[in-house]
């Protein structure tokens, strides 16, 4: 079992009987620290620019990645890394300089002094295991004060094997107060979650809804090509469509607060990058869910490094209750 007891100081103790004991301890600590840093930056003021692919990036993305990659290099030096952000080697552009100042103010002196080296680190190029890092998944939501994910996934032997996700400003059940949720999972060992700063760890489990018309659909705010979610809602008679950013959609399913997530492919980005799905997939699958493309095949996580997954026409994640029926519905409208 992956269950843990977490102390109020943020340290994790009591990991037992898991082959991912070290990964749990390290990534829980890094996810907490990265989420705390990004939330501090959100409170103090976000600075943003556009990357060459026209997607947004903020100083918080760089700060989060620096914290995570520095910790992974220290604890797992033999592993490879794929991560979303990169900065110029001198780290002298305005956004990088802002990130360096934020890291210094937060007490990360080494990361601040060696910012480009840390952020651009991709680990051991010969490593069998690959960490897939999205320092802020859902940057547009982050900018708007909404929920987003700090995602730390581990891939090897052809599948996502472990993941840890922090989701700040995650909506409470039935519209309750927003909080930071941390979830983690290991292949064959279950999925668990806790609220940041609390001791209680609980198992994650998908819903038992089996009737498509009663399912709650979650979709992207920004990546719903041709309104595939809207078409599915109309065809299936679904009453509830929830729009969210980043891998928080997977967490909604793993918590049993939604039942199906659909994403169509973009002509250029496909279904996005491996780090956009790796963490969410392992958490959902270990909570009892299922993730495939629109034909029912598994996702290929091995495009060339730094490239998006473009060989699929879309993605379906569900509580696994009627996954094949969902695929049949989509086959008629996609």
Say if strands 216-220 and 260-264 run parallel, antiparallel, or are unpaired: parallel
CA atoms within 13 A on the CB side of 149: 28
User: Could you tell me the sign of the dihedral formed by the alpha carbons of 28, 33, 37, 39, in that order?
Assistant: positive
In the chain, ranges of CATH 3.30.540.10 domains: 5-203
The whole-model pTM stands at 0.93
Looking at residues 100-108, what average pLDDT do you find?
A: 97
C-beta of residue 131 within 8 angstroms of C-beta of residue 81: yes
- Percent above pLDDT 90 for the chain: 72
- Bridge partners, residue 295, by sequence: none
Looking at residues 238-258, what average pLDDT do you find?
A: 93
Comparing 15-19, 28-32, 135-139, the range with the smallest average pLDDT is 15-19
pLDDT at 9 over 60: no
| Rounded distance between C-alpha atoms, residue 107 and residue 245, angstroms | 29
In the chain, ranges of CATH 3.40.190.80 domains: 212-333
- What pLDDT, in 10s, does the model give residues 267-322? 888 899 999 999 999 999 999 999 999 999 999 898 888 899 998 889 999 999 99
Q: Regarding the domain delimited by 5-203, which CATH topology (the fold level of the hierarchy) does it fall under?
A: Fructose-1,6-Bisphosphatase; Chain A, domain 1 (3.30.540)
Class of CATH domain 212-333 = alpha beta
Residue 235 pLDDT grade (very low, low, confident, very high; cuts 50, 70, 90): confident
Show the beta-strand stretches assigned E in 171-325.
179-186, 191-195, 202-203, 216-220, 240-244, 260-264, 290-293, 314-318
Q: State the greatest distance between any 2 C-alpha atoms of the chain, in Å, as a whole number.
A: 55
Location of structure tokens 């809207």: 230
| Rounded distance between C-alpha atoms, residue 239 and residue 269, angstroms | 30
pLDDT at 106 over 80: yes
Residue 334 pLDDT grade (very low, low, confident, very high; cuts 50, 70, 90): low
């Amino acid at each position: 079992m992956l269950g843990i007891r977490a102390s109020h100081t943020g340290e994790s103790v009591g990991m037992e009987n898991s082959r991912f004991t070290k990964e749990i301890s390290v990534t829980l600590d890094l996810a907490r620290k990265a989420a705390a840093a990004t939330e501090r930056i959100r409170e103090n003021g976000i600075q943003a620019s556009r990357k060459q692919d026209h997607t947004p990036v903020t100083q918080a993305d760089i700060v989060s990645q620096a914290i995570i990659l520095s910790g992974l290099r220290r604890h797992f030096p033999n592993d490879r890394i794929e991560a979303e952000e990169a900065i110029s080697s001198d780290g002298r552009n305005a956004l990088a300089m802002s990130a360096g100042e934020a890291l210094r103010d937060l007490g990360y002196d080494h990361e601040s002094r060696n910012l480009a080296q840390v952020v651009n680190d991709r680990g051991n190029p010969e490593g069998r295991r690959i960490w897939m890092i999205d320092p802020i998944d859902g940057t547009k939501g982050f900018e708007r004060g909404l929920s987003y994910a700090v995602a730390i996934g581990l891939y090897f032997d052809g599948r996502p094997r472990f993941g840890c996700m922090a989701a700040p400003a995650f909506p409470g059940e039935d519209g309750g107060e927003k909080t930071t949720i941390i979830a983690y999972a290991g292949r064959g060992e279950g999925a668990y979650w806790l609220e940041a700063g609390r001791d209680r760890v609980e198992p994650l489990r998908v819903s038992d809804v089996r009737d498509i018309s009663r399912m709650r659909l979650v979709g992207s705010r920004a990546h719903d090509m041709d309104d595939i979610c809207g078409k599915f809602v109309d065809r299936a008679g679904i009453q509830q469509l929830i729009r969210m950013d980043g891998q928080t959609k997977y967490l909604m399913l793993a918590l049993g607060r939604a039942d199906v997530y659909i994403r169509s492919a973009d002509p250029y980005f496909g279904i996005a990058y491996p780090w956009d799905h790796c963490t969410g997939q392992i958490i959902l699958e270990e909570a009892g869910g299922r993730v495939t493309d629109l034909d029912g095949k598994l996702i290929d996580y091995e495009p060339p490094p730094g490239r998006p997954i473009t060989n699929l026409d879309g993605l379906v994640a569900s509580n696994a209750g009627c996954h094949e029926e969902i695929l049949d519905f989509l086959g008629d409208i996609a």
